Structure 1
Amino acid sequence: MLTPQRRPEPLTSPAAFAVFTMILTQGPVSRVEIARRTGLSSAAVTKAARPFIDAGYLRELDATERSAPGAGRPASPLTIRSDREFFIGVKITDSELIGVVTDLSAQVQVTAHRALPSPSVQDVVAELAALVADLLASAPEYGDRCHSLGMAISGDVDKAGGLVRYSPFLGWHQVPLAELVAARTGLSVTVENDVKALTVAEQWFGEGIGASSFAVVTVGTGIGCGLVVNDRVVAGAHGVAGEIGHVPVGGDGPPCHCGGAGCVEAIAGTEPILVAARAATGDESLTIERVLAIARAGDPAMREVLARAGHAIGLAMAAMANLFGPERIIVTGDVAGLASYELVEKQITRAFAGQAFGAAADCRVILRPRTFEQWARGAAAVAIQSLFTLQET
């Protein structure tokens, strides 16, 4: 068992940030290869890596290759010591909490679910504290090597201030969630919008590796989008960049919970699809699962409802691609959202291709199912990134 050791100092050196994140996201990798990719000297790479080796975050593997034919001693690749530290991630919905513990490489070690008696702030914070206690108690090493908690929640989140400014599905306004949860758990707490958290996981540990610019589009209860441009997650001046769910594509209606009209989310979100389906059939008992089943059976009314949703999503994706020019778009979402995607893929693709300008239409679109546990993993990835992100002096 590892003995708890000191953490490295905050990353104030661009070289330290470049070296550590390359090893974390793309390792094992030799110092020679790091120097080649980053443009740093071999001495600078060694200097940047040394504090992380001393603190137990990195280790050297056996020598495998020489830097050049006939040159010096073989290179020893550097790799992450994944069990050096663990991280808790929690996805908050309006009815339950989904929690995970991950290692330093964002590999999920254990998962847990906890139902919420209500979406009130008091109840959510109390259940969060209980869930964290359960997760920490699930393995003895977590108590010594788990110091950080990331939380992912839908809505307008001020990550720097740990504030949930507005979460429509929870009915929250101006909730200092990080402060409240830190006081109950004693952990270092980070709060992020759930789509941006999923984007961080894709950037550092998923489909976004190797792409300097990409987008994550989520389909489900809401329609969300996370953006990475020039290797950075785009937050915008007010933290709400990428909200393609509120791009107006439907004229004057239907009304959206944001106060606007014709938003993508007001057409293609789970609840609007249900509303349209019930209106088309007169059956108020319809569930989203039943709507999808009827559509798969070929019902034209249900297929029309879903086709309209797909068209709206495709238009929003094209608008985003025209503005930001991502290398790839990763489409994911909750269970219902992904189940409906197969029924609207043609409409999405057709609308995207018809509206995307020039080479933007060649953007690669990737469908990747993601369970709620993966959204919780995204929250843990934000905690990992927050610990090792470059800080200003």
Structure 2
Amino acid sequence: MPSSSRSPHAETFPGGTPAASQIFTTVLSQGPLTRLELARRAGLSAAAVTKAVRPLIESGYLVEDADAGARPALGRPANLVRVDGGRALFIGLKLTGDEIIGVLTDLCCRILLARRLPLADRDPKAVLASTAEIVGELLTEADGYGVRVVGLGIAASGDVDRVEGVVRYSPFLEWNDVPLAELASSVTGLPVTVDNDVRALTVAEQWFGAGVGLADFAVVTVGAGIGCGLVVHGRVVAGAHGVAGEIGHVTVDPNGPLCHCGNRGCVEAIAADPAIVARIREATGVEVADSAEAVDLARRGDAGAREAYARAGEAIGRGIATVANLLGPELVLISGEGLAAYDLFAEQIRDAFAAAAFGSAAQCDVQTRPLPFEEWARGAAATAIQSFITAPN
């Protein structure tokens, strides 16, 4: 096995076929599994599983634990197959308007190290310089593991074209049409996957988190913006134009405040942190500086502040109901930094969802899942793992 983490582009996944990628992904997200369980869950024949598993074991990506499986009624124990998480390393970056959050993960997307680097400038050149700095720091740390870093994932807010690796529009970074994958690869020497940050978080939840084994679920994020990642029939969907799941721009009040997208009464124009702060300033005359001060004012019982959060909760509940009505997911996870104020609008979210969800869509399980930005960076690493596994040889 190569020893240096600084030898980019030298490692390719030995799968070679869609079936092998599918089998490996199944073991990665649901393993360890016996070959029989693997065939059943992947919907493949035992022969196809055996053929695909062999090169993955020979190359060290899968490990067979002899005598570790459950013993059938007759015959020898069924050996378990699992992923060797230490076989390869990945880096994930979450870009915000103020900082870069970076993580080093293993092949099972377990965070080994985390770093943060402030952004003094949002210009693409400055962000690329900071990207090179934090990646270089993580690569140096990775040398101690004696395993190659084989991919870099970057997650950014807004309209992101994963296929082309281009950030079409990011309101928080103030970017338009930045070919981030190409630029980041040139300064880091690593294969780069770029995706929308909420979709990246959704990939991590699908493969390694609360969505494992679910065919249909959604991740809704609240905070500086309102985002939504969708898993439909077992696949994270981006839509024909890369903006599927934009519930932040679903209109819930046609006479509501103007949104930065140009429409009125979008969920984001009512329920994103900046919108709540603006509403509180307008209603109370108090110059709250940020969402932390807004939360504090509401918790101290200020009527105008509490009304702003109640209104936000109603908008979020309606947005989630729209997702449930259209797609019928088994589960909706609510996450994001805005959960710090969840106690202020939880009741309104539940009531609005119940009122707007149609029929059996109301049976959708709605849960909260607080996730720090390191978990969003882990989502970026998950997209790099995904790209590595599915890339054609």
TM-score range, shorter chain: over 0.9
Give the deviation of 1:67 after TM superposition: 6.4
SS at match of 1:165: strand
SS at match of 2:33: coil
Q: Comparing 311-320 with 4-13, which one deviates more in the overlay? A: 4-13
Within a 5 Å distance, the mapping from 1:212-361 to structure 2 comes to 212-334=215-337, 337-361=338-362
Residue 56 of structure 2 is matched in structure 1 by 52
Q: Are 1:389 and 2:372 counterparts? A: no
Q: Are 1:197 and 2:213 counterparts? A: no
Identical residues among aligned pairs (%): 53
Residue 213 of structure 2 is matched in structure 1 by 210
Deviations 1:234-288 (A, max 9, x none): 1100000000000011213311111111111011011011111111221224421
Give the deviation of 1:144 after TM superposition: 4.5
SS at match of 2:193: strand
Within a 5 Å distance, the mapping from 1:68-79 to structure 2 comes to 68-71=72-75, 73-79=76-82
Structure 2 length-normalised TM: 0.95
Q: For the residues of structure 2 that align with 1:95 and 1:63, how far apart are their CA atoms?
A: 51
Structure 1 length-normalised TM: 0.95
Q: What amino acid is aligned across from residue 208 of structure 1 in structure 2?
A: G
Contact 1:212 1:231 in 2 (8 A): yes
Aligned residues: 388
SS at match of 1:74: coil
SS at match of 2:39: helix
Q: What amino acid is aligned across from residue 18 of structure 1 in structure 2?
A: Q
Contact 1:273 1:309 in 2 (8 A): yes
Contact 1:11 1:388 in 2 (8 A): no
Q: For the residues of structure 2 that align with 1:156 and 1:133, how far apart are their CA atoms?
A: 27
Contact 1:17 1:390 in 2 (8 A): no
SS at match of 1:261: coil
Q: For the residues of structure 1 that align with 2:286 and 2:81, how far apart are their CA atoms?
A: 60
Q: For the residues of structure 2 that align with 1:369 and 1:82, how far apart are their CA atoms?
A: 25
Residue 7 of structure 1 is matched in structure 2 by 12
Q: What amino acid is aligned across from residue 63 of structure 1 in structure 2?
A: D
Residue 368 of structure 1 is matched in structure 2 by 369
Deviations 1:146-172 (A, max 9, x none): 020000000000000000000011110
Contact 1:12 1:390 in 2 (8 A): no
- Pick from 16, 35, 38: which aligns with 1:34? 38
* CA 1:285–1:39: 2 relative to 1, 3 Å: closer
Q: For the residues of structure 2 that align with 1:179 and 1:194, how far apart are their CA atoms?
A: 18
Q: For the residues of structure 2 that align with 1:66 and 1:130, how far apart are their CA atoms?
A: 48
Q: What amino acid is aligned across from residue 8 of structure 1 in structure 2?
A: F
- Pick from 178, 182, 191: which aligns with 2:181? 178
Q: What amino acid is aligned across from residue 321 of structure 1 in structure 2?
A: A
Q: Comparing 162-171 with 283-292, which one deviates more in the overlay? A: 283-292
SS at match of 1:106: coil
Give the deviation of 1:3 after TM superposition: 5.2
Return structure 1 stretches of 4+ with deviation > 6 angstroms.
none
Contact 1:60 1:76 in 2 (8 A): yes
SS at match of 1:179: helix
Give the deviation of 1:143 after TM superposition: 7.1
Q: Comparing 294-303 with 31-40, which one deviates more in the overlay? A: 31-40
Q: What amino acid is aligned across from residue 23 of structure 2 in structure 1?
A: V
SS at match of 1:110: strand
* CA 1:285–1:295: 2 relative to 1, 3 Å: closer
Give the deviation of 1:64 after TM superposition: 3.2
Q: For the residues of structure 2 that align with 1:10 and 1:213, how far apart are their CA atoms?
A: 26
Q: For the residues of structure 2 that align with 1:142 and 1:268, how far apart are their CA atoms?
A: 43
Q: What amino acid is aligned across from residue 133 of structure 2 in structure 1?
A: A
Give the deviation of 1:369 after TM superposition: 0.5
* CA 1:104–1:275: 2 relative to 1, 3 Å: same
Q: For the residues of structure 2 that align with 1:232 and 1:37, how far apart are their CA atoms?
A: 15
